[in-house]
């Protein structure tokens, strides 16, 4: 029953197929605000889970606009190309992050994150 408002980023875990497109399986994550971190509210919907993300090092690229799936796939491919063969990172998933509310028309921020192994 507690209202927490919008948090940023909204993070989508994407699971790429062999051709780089995204599989239908995704996981959407929202950050629990600081004042609820020590004692988060218990979800009333069983499909909502509270998870703690472990510390991670990421490779990231940023872009603007209203991001669509094709944008995330495109920027993930650009990040992969920029990293070349030297960087070691998780290939089975990556994060697609949006930082802005839908009504913000300009100066939008989106990111693709690869998790370093």
In the chain, where are the structural domains located? Answer: 10-31+55-115
Q: Looking at residue 1, what is its pLDDT?
A: 65
Contact by Cβ (8 Å): 91, 83? no
Model confidence, pTM: 0.87
pLDDT classification of 108: cutoffs 50, 70, 90: very high
Topology at the third CATH level for domain 10-31+55-115: Multidrug-efflux Transporter 1 Regulator Bmrr; Chain A (3.20.80)
CA-derived radius of gyration, the chain:
15
Computed over every residue of the chain, the mean pLDDT equals 90
Closest CA to 94 of 39, 56, 49, 43: 56
Please write the tens of the pLDDT for every residue from 3-17: 777 788 999 999 988
Ranges of beta strands (E only) in the chain are: 10-16, 22-30, 58-63, 94-98, 110-115
Please write the tens of the pLDDT for every residue from 19-29: 777 777 778 89
SS3 89: strand
CB neighbours of residue 66 within 10 Å: 12
pLDDT classification of 81: cutoffs 50, 70, 90: very high
């Amino acid at each position: 029953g507690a209202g927490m408002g919008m948090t940023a980023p909204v993070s989508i875990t994407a699971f790429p197929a062999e051709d780089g497109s995204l599989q239908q399986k995704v996981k959407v994550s929202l950050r629990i605000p600081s004042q609820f971190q020590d004692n988060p509210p218990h979800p009333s919907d069983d499909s909502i889970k509270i998870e703690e993300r472990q510390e991670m090092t990421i490779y990231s690229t940023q872009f603007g606009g209203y991001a669509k799936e094709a944008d995330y796939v495109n920027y993930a491919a650009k990040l992969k190309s920029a990293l070349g063969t030297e960087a070691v990172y998780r290939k089975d998933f990556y994060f697609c992050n949006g930082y802005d509310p839908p009504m913000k028309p300009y100066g939008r921020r989106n990111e693709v994150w690869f998790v370093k192994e």
